Structure 1
Amino acid sequence: MPSQPPRRSPGGEVRQRDAERSRRAIMEAAVVEFGTHGYAGARVSRIAERAGVNKQLISYYFGGKQGLRDAVTDSWHDRGPALYPPGASLADVAANYVRAAVADPDMFRLLVWEAMGDYGPDTGDERRTAWMHRFVEDVAARQESGELPPGIDPRALGLAIFAAAAAPVVFAPIATAMGIEQPRSTATGDWYADQLSLLVRALGDAPAGRPD
């Protein structure tokens, strides 16, 4: 009987693809876990089970739960250019954030957990701070150009737009009580994105003036 040829171990390219798949599966599972339970309530074992990997891989790839949370946050910041493309109106940017919230609700739920004080060991997020500062500066520049009314503090205006974009996910029960069916669905998200876009555009048509 002829001998069987020795089995070859996977090549470097195959191992790289496997590693990327594992990392992606862990990240996707982590977003759900953090969004559902917050940082404090999240369990590495549940993340590993959902991802279909050994939980030791979480330490190997991310250094533990905190490193994984940081990686999840970084992945959201990496989406910034697509949500806020150069030359886009603020109305279009607001609509982009609505669709992002509906498509990835657990990421926005994680923000709610953080708002309630569930940050994890390291509360610093330099990338978020830098991004929000740029956002406020852009709102101020749009006010100077006449796209938005000058009488509103750009920080308040930016915060209101961001909060409004997250409303279908964060305030889904209130939306339902108002008669908005399935507020977290893609179809309703598209409808609400258009409505918020109209609202932001209307701000630019409002009479200028600064409150006393």
Structure 2
Amino acid sequence: MILLGVCTLADVPSSKPRRSPKPQERQRDPERTRALILDAAEAEFAAHGFQGARTAAIAARAGVNQQLISYYFDGKHGLHQAMSQRWQERRTELVPPETPLPEQFRRYALEALHNPDAVRLMTWGGLEYTGADSDPDHTPRARMLEHSVDELRTLQEQGRLPAELDPAALMVMLMAAAMAPTTLPHVIEGVYGTDPRTPEFLTHFADQVSLLVRALGRDTE
């Protein structure tokens, strides 16, 4: 999924002066510490959204001094930007160039199984969204969709999608479908009578999303 962003509201600068970490804290492996903080931030933001997340809770999850968050990321907003960059790198690995559209969306749907916090972050991003002006990473994330929209537009030009169909609207609908196990678990459980979080269901659902894309494009591979 194009998991295109993780939160939308800018951080409010703290009035407290930044403190450099103690010497023993600086002796930590910087990359390992950064990774621990990012993992903890992802879990905390996924649970509470950007507004509800607290840097103290992130530090506790990571097992580090809270000052290290300011030292490495310049606060919560810096974490937002770092996680956005992390997702862009993840997306490149998830759907390399030339990945067929049906497989792209199958992999996006499977992120609910392999990377559930990232999908929850994207959901929170939508709930907290107040406009592009409050979301500095909006444009880079939006551009991540352009390639797939262009693929749909090419299919349309080839006569494999109805001429009256808006490729951008179709992209949004397909992304919504891929995210449904996270955004509509209660609906899924009501329809299927099963837990939408199980590996068996998520694998089945991802395959169904892939079949839908293939049918829309009359075999887009």
Global fold match (TM > 0.5): yes
Query: Is the 1:146–1:204 contact (alpha carbons within 8 Å) kept by the matching residues of 2?
Result: no
2:54 pairs with one of 28, 43, 53 = 43
Query: Is the 2:110–2:203 contact (alpha carbons within 8 Å) kept by the matching residues of 1?
Result: yes
Structure 2 distance, partners of 1:82, 1:145, is 29
1:119–1:39 distance in 2 versus 1, CA, 3 Å:
farther
Matched AA of 1:187: E
**TM-score, with structure 2 as normaliser:** 0.79
Residue 86 of structure 1 is matched in structure 2 by: 97
Residue 132 of structure 1 is matched in structure 2 by: 145
Percentage identity across paired residues of the two chains:
40
* Structure 2 residues without counterparts, runs of 5 or longer: 1-22
Structure 2 distance, partners of 1:189, 1:146, is 32
What number of residue pairs does the alignment pair up? 194
1:160 pairs with one of 145, 159, 173 = 173
* Structure 1 residues without counterparts, runs of 5 or longer: 1-8, 207-212
Structure 2 distance, partners of 1:198, 1:39, is 34
Q: State the structure with more CA Rg.
A: 1
1:180–1:103 distance in 2 versus 1, CA, 3 Å:
farther
Structure 2 distance, partners of 1:147, 1:29, is 44
**TM-score, with structure 1 as normaliser:** 0.82
1:172–1:78 distance in 2 versus 1, CA, 3 Å:
same
- The Cα of 1:173 is off from its aligned counterpart by 1.4
- The Cα of 1:140 is off from its aligned counterpart by 1.0
Matched AA of 1:101: A
* 2:37 paired with 1:26: yes
Structure 1 distance, partners of 2:129, 2:172, is 20
- The Cα of 1:184 is off from its aligned counterpart by 1.8
1:79 is paired with a residue of what secondary structure?
helix
1:182 pairs with one of 187, 195, 199 = 195
Query: Is the 2:111–2:119 contact (alpha carbons within 8 Å) kept by the matching residues of 1?
Result: no
Matched AA of 1:55: Q
Query: Is the 2:181–2:202 contact (alpha carbons within 8 Å) kept by the matching residues of 1?
Result: yes
- The Cα of 1:105 is off from its aligned counterpart by 2.0
Matched AA of 2:200: A
Query: Is the 1:102–1:168 contact (alpha carbons within 8 Å) kept by the matching residues of 2?
Result: no
- The Cα of 1:119 is off from its aligned counterpart by 6.5
Query: Is the 1:102–1:184 contact (alpha carbons within 8 Å) kept by the matching residues of 2?
Result: yes
1:123–1:144 distance in 2 versus 1, CA, 3 Å:
same
After superposition, give the CA deviation of every residue in 1:49-98 in whole Å (9 maximum; x if it has no partner): 01111111111111100000111111111122223222222111110101
Tell me the C-alpha RMSD between the 2 structures.
2.5
2:110 pairs with one of 83, 99, 108 = 99
* 2:125 paired with 1:114: yes
